[in-house]
Amino acid sequence: MADFMIVLTTTDTQDSARSLSRSAVERSLAASGQVSGPVETTYRHLGEVCQGMEWQVAFRTTGDRREALEAHIASHHPYDSPEVIAVSIDAGRAEYLEWIARATL
């Protein structure tokens, strides 16, 4: 069975998050993309501590599709240097994981 991942990113608007989610699923780079937010973010930028509101997208994909998904996010993201973090799914319901594999072929 393939390895499975959750790939996370954040954007500045709900519309941007929805667009990233939809375009990745349409291209079979992810089986799903969950948009949540807004979330309040505190971060350091150019030496200053800043705060802002962002929307998070959590993609479900396979290890085989991770690099292509990350490249897609980077090329369609509104940020110059977006957060893209991949986390392995250690366990899950077999039918759900099989669906991820089928949806990302």
**Going from the N-terminus, what domains does the chain have, and what CATH number goes with each?**
4-103 (3.30.70.120)
pTM for this structure?
Answer: 0.93
Residue 68, exposed/middle/buried by CB under 10 A (0-12, 13-18, 19+)?
middle
- What's the order of all strands across the beta sheet hosting 85-88? 32-45, 48-62, 4-11, 85-88
**pLDDT tens, residue by residue, 48-96:** 999 999 999 999 999 999 999 999 999 999 999 999 999 999 999 999 9
Q: State pLDDT tens for residues 32-44.
A: 999 999 999 999 9
